[in-house]
């Protein structure tokens, strides 16, 4: 069930049987010449939506702009300051707690969000600790590509040059979600360079087309379907176990 397409009585009825909700969380940033700007939000969203349908789980709205300042050298990229994102996540948590949710599972699609989400969790728990009250809810962060078995599927499909940004795997997932948005381009070089970066200008100078270590020319919707199926099934198992604790 999707929170956005449910009525409040339906949410109230859901809470009688489960106190858990999944929040897809990602980013709006460039993903190379053939990757969708919304990739890091689309991936956790499609996986969560399919898991919700398969496992009877409630799926919240997608938190779709994250910490992506280093991508601002590419048009379309958007970012939040870490402090802004922490405040927003805490408000989401407080709102859900207000209604009785006790297990909030954030399914993440952007590596650059990890530290900030963890800081938001610490901020959320800190209020209870400082007040000497037991916190009535638990928070969980999981990256979709690290769900059990998913990376093995990705590596079996793309054994070479999946890369670390604008990967063939994540672009395949977005093509599965939005087949009408498939892009056909010539990549030069075919496999992007590896390396680190500092700010947005440094990123653009080092990685001219936005990719890092990847060759997503072989990304297809059919390959994305296999990856999503693996992630969906793993998420159902993980979320159901978390919700029961």
pLDDT of residue 69: 98
215 located within any domain? no
**Mean per-residue pLDDT over the chain, rounded:** 98
CA gap 108, 230 in Å, rounded: 16
Q: Which pLDDT does position 216 carry in this prediction? A: 98
48, β-bridge pairs? none
Instruction: Examine residue 227 and state whether it is found in any structural domain, yes or no.
Output: no
Domain annotation covers residue 153 = yes
CATH of the domain at 10: 3.40.50.10310
**Structural domain that includes position 23:** 3-158+232-244
Q: Which of 182, 150, 171, 178 is nearest to 214 (CA)?
A: 171
φ, ψ of residue 146 to 5 degrees: the values are: -100, 5
Q: What is the pLDDT of residue 194?
A: 97
Question: Is this structure's pTM higher than 0.75?
Answer: yes
Domain for residue 207, yes or no? no
Q: Which of 1, 20, 2 is nearest to 242 (CA)?
A: 20
Q: How many domains does the chain have?
A: 1
List pLDDT tens digits, range 68-103: 999 999 999 999 999 999 999 999 999 999 999 999
Q: Does 11 reside within a domain?
A: yes
Question: Is there a domain that residue 188 lies in?
Answer: no
Give the mean model confidence (pLDDT) for residues 219-240. 98
Residue at 38 is within a domain: yes
Q: For residue 140, is it within any domain?
A: yes
Q: Which residues pair with 25 in a beta bridge?
A: 63, 108
pLDDT tens sequence across 45-75: 999 999 999 999 999 999 999 999 999 999 9
Q: Which two tokens stand for residue 180?
A: 């009408």
Q: For residue 245, what pLDDT is reported?
A: 76
């Amino acid at each position: 069930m999707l929170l956005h397409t449910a009525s409040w009585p339906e949410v109230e009825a859901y809470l009688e049987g489960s106190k858990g909700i999944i929040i897809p969380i990602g980013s709006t940033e460039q993903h190379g010449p053939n990757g969708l700007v919304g990739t890091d939000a689309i991936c956790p969203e499609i996986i969560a939506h399919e898991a919700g349908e398969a496992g009877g789980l409630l799926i919240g709205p997608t938190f779709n702009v994250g910490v992506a300042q280093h991508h601002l050298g590419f048009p379309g990229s958007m970012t939040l300051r870490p402090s802004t994102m922490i405040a927003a996540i805490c408000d989401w948590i407080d709102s859900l707690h207000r209604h009785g949710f006790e297990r909030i599972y954030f399914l993440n699609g952007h590596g650059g969000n990890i530290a900030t989400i963890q800081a938001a969790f610490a901020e959320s728990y800190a209020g209870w600790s400082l007040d000497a009250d037991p916190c009535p809810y638990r928070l969980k962060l999981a990256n979709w590509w690290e769900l059990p078995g998913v990376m093995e599927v990705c590596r079996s499909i793309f054994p070479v040059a999946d890369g670390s940004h604008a990967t063939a795997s994540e672009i395949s997932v977005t093509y599965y979600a939005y087949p009408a948005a498939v892009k056909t381009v010539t990549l030069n070089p075919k496999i992007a360079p590896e390396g680190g970066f500092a700010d947005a200008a440094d990123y653009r100078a080092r990685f001219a087309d936005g990719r890092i270590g990847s060759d997503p020319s072989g990304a297809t919707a059919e390959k994305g379907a296999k990856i999503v199926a693996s992630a969906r099934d793993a998420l159902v198992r993980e979320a159901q176990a978390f919700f029961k604790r």
